[in-house]
Amino acid sequence: MDDDSLRRLPKVELHVHLEGSFDVDRIVELADEAGEELPANPQSILRPKSLSELLARLDWWCGLIRTPEQAVRQAYDFAARLGADGVAYAEVIVNPTHWRGLRREALLEAVSAGFDQAARDGHCDAWLLVSLLRSQSADEALEVVEALAARPPSRLVGLSIDGNEAATGPTGHRFAPAFALAGALGLGRTAHAGESSGPEGIVSALDDLGVSRIDHGVRCVEDRDLMGRLATEGVALNVCLTSNVELLYGSIDGHPLATLVDGGIAVTINTDDPVTLDVTLTSELALAQSVCRWGLQGAIAATETAIRASFASASKASDLHKRLSEFAGWTLPDRT
Ligand SMILES: [Zn+2]
């Protein structure tokens, strides 16, 4: 399998943050427009030393977005970037608490407008997962979902939660009412867990938040019973290899992807913060291929899993399956 086949594969991404879509040139441009000093030299801005430093940097550069027009462009350019990598469909996490230069409603409308325009121009079909921050209160979280119910952004497909669980401790009970309301509204539900938290964070996301999939989830390998539950219930883990190597494992050799796959768990491959980490979905699928020794068929299977785990409408999921089948039939002519 070559990278060109992976690039042409009509890919699906379920775990990617708009906060991780800023490249150095854009950051410098926005800082200049805002009249702000850079916090580090340009070469090291995108090289945080820890999750906490990464989150602090994200707050700063997202806060440089001060107008809806800047947010529209950020969303449009990101969807174009994904499209250039052959990503057909993406659900993009946006956590409004990081974007302090714009009101939440204006931000989400602008991001939706940017994604709309990008889809019309034939780039990636990108949708919106609004994300809560773990340090928010129960009332703040509920207010976010109530506001989404009152005025849903046009590209909204689901509710997410992210942030550093190691710093906040267990939060499942606090966010249960917000996630219950999201479920009642018909929104998809996903949560970061099993990365900065251990297996208990995954159990809480399933039982307290009612999620149908987990962002990361890799630390389920510390609990064989939980692995069995995830496999039995068909809960997909949205794994991000390079991100996990940077923040958890230190080396790809220590990553448990093969253990997850061998355990029968549904796994999707994702980028997390692609510009910050200098990866693409194509490069992450190539890395997964080297870890699991799967051929193109493995990447196709992971994409099928991603379509099933997505919050896309039935007709959109059907379209994605059709595109994937056409690609597989063309690339693997002996496939029946
Ligand atoms: Zn993430």
CATH of the domain at 314: 3.20.20.140
Residue 238 Cα to ligand 1 midpoint, Å, equals 9
Residue 93 Cα to ligand 1 midpoint, Å, equals 8
Q: Which of 128, 37, 47, 48 is nearest to 91 (CA)?
A: 128
Separation of alpha carbons 327 and 332, rounded Å:
8
pLDDT tens, position by position, 244-259: 998 899 999 999 999 9
Separation of alpha carbons 27 and 36, rounded Å:
10
pLDDT tens, position by position, 170-180: 777 899 999 99
Look at residue 336 and tell me if it is in a domain. Answer: no
Residue 17 Cα to ligand 1 midpoint, Å, equals 6
Residue 236 Cα to ligand 1 midpoint, Å, equals 15
Look at residue 20 and tell me if it is in a domain. Answer: yes
Separation of alpha carbons 280 and 275, rounded Å:
8
CA angle 56, 113, 141 (to 5 degrees): 50
**Residues with catalytic roles:** 195
Look at residue 222 and tell me if it is in a domain. Answer: yes
pLDDT, mean over the chain? 93
Residue 95 Cα to ligand 1 midpoint, Å, equals 11
Look at residue 63 and tell me if it is in a domain. Answer: yes
Task: Grade residue 2 by pLDDT with cuts at 50, 70 and 90.
Answer: low
- Rounded to an integer, the average pLDDT of 19-24 is 92
pLDDT tens, position by position, 186-206: 999 999 999 988 999 999 999
Look at residue 122 and tell me if it is in a domain. Answer: yes
Domain count, the chain: 1
Look at residue 281 and tell me if it is in a domain. Answer: yes
Residue span of the structural domain in which 127 resides: 3-330
Higher pLDDT, 44 or 307: 307
Higher pLDDT, 171 or 140: 140
Look at residue 263 and tell me if it is in a domain. Answer: yes
Q: Which of 280, 268, 321 is nearest to 82 (CA)?
A: 280
Look at residue 262 and tell me if it is in a domain. Answer: yes
Residue 269 Cα to ligand 1 midpoint, Å, equals 12
